[in-house]
Amino acid sequence: SIGGPPRPEARDAIATARKAGIRVRMITGDHAVTASAIAGELGIEGRAMTGADLDQLSDEELQEQIDDIGVIGRVAPEHKVRLVRSLRSRGEVVAMTGDGVNDAPALKAADIGVAMGITGTEVSKQAARMILTDDNFATIVEAVRQGRGVYENLMEYIRFQTASLVAFVAAFVGATLLNLAQGAPLNPVQLLWISFVIIAPLGVALGFDGTKDTVMELSPRDPSKPVLDTSRWLRLSLLGVTMAAVTLVVTASAPGNAELGEATVSNTMAFVVMSLSCIVCALCCRDEFDSVFGSDPFDNTRLLRSLIVTGVVTVLATELSFLQQWLLTTPLSARQWGICLVGAAVVIAVDEGRKLAER
């Protein structure tokens, strides 16, 4: 039921929802003419009809016309449930708002029932999955924005961890096939160091990244698709294999292929270039398609601190005597550090080339 004039922020919220691929419809017990006029003020698209008109349509006809329907007035509870079920049968994810007892069946039938916390009845609150404490539609849109931000941060973390895992596996498989470093370019302690001292803090920092301004311009995600689909696996595999490849190239070209358990320049350079590759990989994984150089490094201070700390500890791992003994590393010359930095730059260059091609 329409309880008064629309809130000023509602029109902006509906426009934002439309850009995000969310279709807003008005279903009300009030007269269709009144509802249509208010829908026009709010920017809700689609023709108006009544619950009686809805009764005249078969399920097949409703499916054909539902995209053109934006407002339905004079509805009964069964009309709301029918509309929800019709949309869900098309594979749509349906959110339904309501505050009365008669809204409870539709709230229950929807994927996400949203009850009003102030004006809503206890029956509607019990039937809903979410309660809107301020009864403001704009809050729903803001919740969608924050939810998308959380999902994008989770995807940054997953992309980074997956690419790093691919890099480790590819490095050891490649070393075995090419008979480099006796199949072990990194020793177990170095692996643990990179995993817990380099990758872990960077992954946590990516998980706390800020919500991008463009997040509400993305198309809705298909909930039936896997988190890591084929195209994403290919992107991350390319990134991980590149990290492994530069590690193996450095291992093969550096001097000192000694027995396992000895500190050598070759092993140290492999350790350093893999550490640096993981650091730049974190930057690459912040966005799947946009350039690393287009992002603001200061908009995530946690990530900035993690980048600095992981860079410093990578240097210290080759310079401090107790870390040298523990990690089996040896000091590197300026030229050798330069080679390692070039290897990390190659990782960024390959990923930037992939992003440019996809854009």
Q: What is the pLDDT of residues 75-117, one digit of tens each?
A: 999 999 999 999 999 989 999 999 999 999 999 999 999 999 9
What's the pLDDT tens digit per position in 239-280? 999 999 999 999 998 876 544 556 789 999 999 999 999 999
pTM value?
Answer: 0.88
The token duo for 342 is: 């070039």
Average the pLDDT over 178-191 and give the result.
Answer: 91
Pick from 110, 139, 134, 92: which is nearest to 27 by CA?
Answer: 110
Mean pLDDT of 11-28: 93
Average pLDDT over residues 306-311: 96
Amino acid 96: pLDDT: 96
At 299 the pLDDT is 87
CA angle 63, 69, 71 (to 5 degrees): 135
| pLDDT tens for each residue of 222-243 | 888 899 999 999 999 999 999 9
pLDDT of 73 above 90:
yes
Residue 255: its pLDDT value, please? 73
Spatial separation of the C-alpha atoms in residues 112 and 15, rounded to whole Å: 21
| CA dihedral of 150, 151, 153, 155, whole degrees rounded to 10 | 170
Is the confidence at residue 2, as pLDDT, over 50?
A: no
Task: Please give the DSSP secondary-structure letter assigned to residue 212.
Answer: P
